[in-house]
Structure 1
Amino acid sequence: MMAQVNLKAAIIAGTAAGVVSGLVKLGWENILPPRTAARNQTNPPQRLLEQAGVPAAVTHATYTYSGEKLPWVSYLIHFGFSTTFGVLYSVAGHYAPSIRTAQGTLFGLGVWGAFHLGIMPAMQTVPSAKDQPAEEHFSEALGHMAWMWTNHIISDELYHELTNSK
């Protein structure tokens, strides 16, 4: 019989993990940029919003920190996606433990495949998988594995801390 799941603790743990893993993914992309500078002029979150009718003046809005212009709207989408999947992984992992296989890295690879090879190309948010450079596939695939592994480690540890269930 499955132990009772503390849903509140799982959501809190997944939210915290999603924020931290979002930072990890941003750091990963600084080391192995997935897109060329030209393709990153309008990044996928910005393109998705523009496809939904949000004007470029909003999607490309920035704030300045330390002399750098940073795309706050892109960050909202990035962290929203990361936190949503952090919560999904944290909660669903209690009901479908198979998604936790390989400490979430296979789940992260699946998210990459679904979104970067399937959904976003089908929506014409990014080029088709065959038209994306190998560097993009490499960076995104490994980055999604590191991202979800971070979700796994943090959500698991925080859930156990919140429920004292070690």
Structure 2
Amino acid sequence: MSLFKRHPLNLPAAIIAGGAAGIVSGLVKLGWENVLPPRTAARDATNPPQTLLEQFGIPKQVTHATYTYSGHQLPWVSYVIHFGFSTTFAVLYQIIGEKIPAVKKDAGTWFGLAIWVAFHLGIMPAMGTVPSAADQPKEEHVSEALGHIAWMVTNDLVGAEVYRRLTQESRRH
């Protein structure tokens, strides 16, 4: 059995499937964080996407910009970063997973955990965007680890189905 699939990748279908999956999984991850908030209210006053943008010199009045819906002030700039991250990794997962099936082992569970480890325990602490892994509360680790699994399993399910439908449709014509 080869590590690589032998059929050709339909790149436009993979990008569309990953993009659709990233939007849906981004919503799942936001919902997850409402059930198991990863950060305290104090740490969320300036959340990691806002902190990251401020580290790049973007002023606080931009990073904390909001829109109002149903009486709630919602951080649209944070959502742009959140969904940008989600769709970027969903597209990469879809493309790489179509060529290297091992990436999709256990419906993306390991890929999701790898992203969590890389970003939440490695890259963002190294940049000073979030505290070091040792200084993050255990509730944050639990929420983020399980949330990244739910996020990537959603990417796996939605991306696979959209890709299947798009490629099946293109084979009919």
Which category describes the TM-score, using the shorter chain as reference length? Answer: over 0.9
Equivalent position of 2:54 in the other structure: 50
Equivalent position of 1:77 in the other structure: 81
Equivalent position of 2:160 in the other structure: 156
1:46-125 matches, cutoff 5 A: 46-125=50-129
Q: Distance in 1 between matches of 2:100 and 2:116?
A: 20
Deviations 1:37-78 (A, max 9, x none): 000000000000000000000000000000000000000000
Q: Distance in 2 between matches of 1:94 and 1:164?
A: 15
* TM-score for both structures, normalised by structure 2: 0.94
Structure 1 stretch 34-43 or stretch 1-10: which is displaced more?
1-10
Equivalent position of 2:42 in the other structure: 38
Residue aligned with 1:69, SS: strand
Question: What is the Cα deviation at residue 126 of structure 1?
Answer: 0.1
* AA matched with 1:16: A
State the Cα RMSD in Å.
1.2
Consecutive unaligned residues of structure 1, counting only runs of 5 or more, are: none
Question: What is the Cα deviation at residue 95 of structure 1?
Answer: 1.6
Moved over 6 A (4+): none
Question: What is the Cα deviation at residue 96 of structure 1?
Answer: 1.7
Q: How many residues align?
A: 166
Structure 1 stretch 87-96 or stretch 28-37: which is displaced more?
87-96
* AA matched with 1:54: I
